Homo-oligomer: A and B are copies of this chain.
Amino acid sequence: MNPFRFYNPTQLVFGKDTVSELGSLVAPYGSSILLVYGGGSIKKTGLYDKVKEQLASIHATVHELSGIDPNPRLSSVEKGVQICRENGVQFILAVGGGSVIDAAKGIAAGVPYEGSVWDFCTRKAQVQKALPLGAILTLSATGTEMNGNAVITNWDLKQKRGMGSIHVYPRFSILDPTLTMTVSKEQTANGIVDMMSHVFEQYFSQTKDTPLQERLCESILQTVVENGETAVREPNNYEARANLMLCGTYALNGGMISVGMQNDWASHDIEHAISAIYDIAHGAGLSIVFPNWMKYVYNARIDRFVQYAVRVWGVDPAGKTDDEIALAGIQATRDFFTRIGAPATLSDVGIGDESLDVMAADAVRFGPLGSFRKLEQQDVRSILEMSL
């Protein structure tokens, strides 16, 4: 186990109808609120009205920024910063999935900063302070509801990059599993792949002597696998939705499950290079890339892949070589993704081989990827080829 710091000041408010606690949660932060949301589905479901009622009950002045897209755009973030500055906004409330919350984090960090929010993504600047923000989560996937990370896409540069700071942890996140019942089968599947991928990035690590962390990771993976197909098949199954919601949050909440472990994140970097060019869902990209990354790197620490196959997928090791066990676990991962309806190849999402070099070059723009096995541009290209 490596030395570590862990600090996660986000309050979770979990359960049916917890939106009714919104007013009291927001009130301490002020009365000028920026409400950030996506394409308007929250109006169809009635959530928008409930939020407005809650904010009216504390006599808040509400400014709105709607239309946040998946893979949230720098331009949306900049628009939000402008609204906040012009109106003296004191608190940002994000209502939606990962993209909406990530956009809110970018806005929160951007308001007190003189330069462009993109500076945080290119490491030109570090977030020194931010407006406080809170979230109501409507889609389980990214874990952004309980961490300090955000991913922003700059369409002018065709680049998708992450930023992170302790200052943009949501002060609270309202997690009502019933709000995720209207999420489509496809988005539910993408969310499942996303949360499992977050665990993979932490679990497939070269750090030794981390038995508790490995088990915590496996606990989430097993629970997602158990509940994932049910949630896709029965969208209104409360317990399946609740279990997935908790798994998604715990999978990436400031590193709680992987304290003292070196993380990898190569697969995410590869996926970001894909979805910066092709506007595909993050989870879909991960579903395509991750099992191929696994096949490409598993020999760098085969014991971890053997453990994964046996503990998470119940692969019977009797009479099998380590290679066979590891590959059976990787195949089980691919099969599960397919069972829940997630794509397996780039061609499944209409992507050909025309940009492999551009994507591989973009992925390693800041240097080789990952730590489980360090990947150079040629390695990334090979994984992309395996994904065609």
Residues of A that sit less than 8 Å from B by CB: 1-16, 18, 209, 211-212, 215-216, 218-220, 222-223, 226-227, 239, 242-243, 246-247, 250, 256, 259-260
CB pairs A–B below 8 angstroms (22 shown): A1-B239, A1-B246, A3-B14, A3-B15, A4-B12, A5-B11, A5-B13, A5-B14, A6-B12, A7-B11, A14-B259, A209-B239, A211-B223, A211-B226, A211-B227, A212-B247, A212-B250, A215-B219, A216-B216, A242-B260, A246-B260, A256-B256
Q: How far is the CB of A65 from chain B (nearest CB, A)?
A: 27
A16 touches B1 (CB 8 A): no
What residues on B are CB-neighbors of A2 within 8 Å? 15
Q: Closest chain B residue to A214 by CB distance?
A: B219
What residues on B are CB-neighbors of A222 within 8 Å? 211, 215
Q: Closest chain B residue to A171 by CB distance?
A: B7
What residues on B are CB-neighbors of A8 within 8 Å? 8
A242 touches B11 (CB 8 A): no
A9→B218 CA distance, assembly (Å): 25
Q: How far is the CB of A145 from chain B (nearest CB, A)?
A: 12
What residues on B are CB-neighbors of A216 within 8 Å? 216, 219
Out of B4, B12, B218, B260, name the residue touching A5 (CB < 8 Å): B12
Q: Closest chain B residue to A21 by CB distance?
A: B5
What residues on B are CB-neighbors of A1 within 8 Å? 239, 242-243, 246
Out of B18, B215, B247, name the residue touching A3 (CB < 8 Å): B18
Q: How far is the CB of A345 from chain B (nearest CB, A)?
A: 31
Q: How far is the CB of A276 from chain B (nearest CB, A)?
A: 33
A223→B212 CA distance, assembly (Å): 6
A6→B245 CA distance, assembly (Å): 14
What residues on B are CB-neighbors of A10 within 8 Å? 7
A315→B3 CA distance, assembly (Å): 35
Q: Closest chain B residue to A209 by CB distance?
A: B239
What residues on B are CB-neighbors of A7 within 8 Å? 9-12
Q: How far is the CB of A254 from chain B (nearest CB, A)?
A: 11
Q: How far is the CB of A28 from chain B (nearest CB, A)?
A: 14
Q: Closest chain B residue to A245 by CB distance?
A: B1
What residues on B are CB-neighbors of A14 within 8 Å? 3-6, 259-260
Out of B9, B209, B226, B256, name the residue touching A242 (CB < 8 Å): B209
Which of A16, A18, A250 counts the most chain B CB atoms within 10 A? A250
